[in-house]
Amino acid sequence: MISHVELKTSGQGLYEMTQEIRQLVKASGIKEGVMTVMVQHTSASLTIQENADPTARHDLEQWFERLVPENDPLYKHTCEGPDDMPAHIKSALTDVSLSIPIVESAPALGTWQGVYLWEHRSRPHHRKIVIHLHGD
């Protein structure tokens, strides 16, 4: 079963989509199986991170921003703006697709795990996510 989700973003950062994913699994009627979540862009990515203390996500974003700064003299690909090349690199360092087992009609996330879309561009975007669900 294929589902499509579109998320609006308003600048760089982590956008939680755990609830959307839980509802998709519930609506599918699948009790046990696996789902694959993939973002259809090269300047946004996916990650599973702590969904409790927001400072953990803040530090994560800040750390990546320092590791992959804008306006690095190394970049030749600058025509799409100073945030574009860092976006591609951050996408390569994190995940474009995630596979998550389904157990008891829910994604088998740990207690503190949330699923996030990671927007790496500064301007607002509509981000397309395609999800495959499979099981019984």
The set of residues, in sequence order, having a beta carbon less than 8 Å from that of 83 and lying 6+ positions away, is: 12, 70, 120, 121, 122
Q: Which of 105, 108, 87 is nearest to 39 (CA)?
A: 87
Candidates 5-13, 22-30, 49-57 — which segment interacts with its own copies by CB under 8 A? 49-57
Asked if 135 contacts 5 with a C-beta cutoff of 8 angstroms, the reply is: no
The single residue listed with the structure tokens 């699994």 is 25
Q: Is residue 19 at the binding interface for its own copies, with CB under 8 A as the rule?
A: no
Q: How far is the CB of 10 from its own copies (least distance, A)?
A: 20
Among 85, 117, 119, 120, contact with its own copies (rule: CB under 8 A): 85
CA-based end-to-end distance of the chain: 11
Give contact residues for its own copies (rule: CB under 8 A).
1-2, 32-34, 36, 38-42, 47-50, 53, 55-56, 58-60, 62-64, 66, 68, 72, 74-77, 79, 84-85, 88-89, 91-103, 108-113, 128, 130-132, 134
